[in-house]
Amino acid sequence: MDINGLIEQYGYAALVIGSVAEGETITLLGGVAAHQGLLKFPLVVAAVALGGMIGDQLLYFLGLRFGPTLLQRFAKHQKKILRAQRLIQRHPYMFVIGTRFMYGFRIIGPILIGASRLPPKIFLPLNIIGAIAWALIFTTLGYVGGEVIGPWLHNLDQHLKHWAWLILVVAVVIGVRLWLKHREKRRDEGNVYSAGLNCGFASIKPPSTINDCPVV
């Protein structure tokens, strides 16, 4: 069986499992496979939504049952936790739907929602809505991306064309993630800088050299 047959036979199961464990990357690749005619677009959306819903539901129940213990393991992400807790208190329904779209909250978001004791009868329908929206958006991005790059790869061997686009999509996703991580690091450094100004300094050293404000 060639690679196309393998994708057609096992592609949907791989999308469900991959969406439980990861997310955006496997969803984009599913959209690309749909554009190449290897998988059917509606079934890709359904498979990805199912996997994403199952993954977040499991994390929610873990937070509901073991919330305080699990949150201790995320001590280094205390800023994210406090920010998420404020959002949950202000807009619990929107946070449930939007948490899978928020960088850095893919894993910890559902755990925090469970730890906040949001009732399961409220979380479940909101989780389904969010999973469908997330699956539809990222599958469409993969599909459209495949359509844009398709003419460039028209003269390549059929299998090589599939692999080249898959590699390109993975590279783009990794690049975006690195950029988001870099932006968050710069924002944290800016917060440290602001803290130094609050201490009364007219000028300040780079954030890496800052300790506590001196005692007068």
Q: 3-state SS string over 55-101?
A: HHHHHHHHHHHHHHHHHHCCHHHHHHHHHHHHHHHHCHHHHHHHHHH
CB burial readout 8-42, b (16+ within 10 A) else e: beebbebbbbbbbeebbbbbbbbbbbbbbebbebe
Low-confidence ranges of the chain (pLDDT < 70): 1-8, 22, 75, 148-170, 185, 187-216
Q: What pLDDT, on a 0 to 100 scale, did the predictor assign at position 128?
A: 94
| Angle ∠(13,133,49) on CA atoms, nearest 5 | 15
Q: What six digits make up the tokens of 46?
A: 């359904």
Domain ranges for the chain, please list them: 3-150
The model's pLDDT over 185-205, given as tens digits with 9 standing for 90+, comes to 676 666 544 545 454 444 444
What pTM was estimated for this model as a whole?
0.64
- pLDDT value of position 203: 41
- pLDDT tens digits for 8-45? 677 888 888 888 876 777 888 888 888 888 889 999 99
Residue with tokens 């060639």: 2
Q: Looking at residue 216, what is its pLDDT? A: 43
Cα(133)–Cα(98) distance, integer angstroms: 9
| Residue 170: per-residue pLDDT | 67
Structural contact between residues 122 and 9, judged by C-beta atoms closer than 8 angstroms:
no
pLDDT at 161: 47
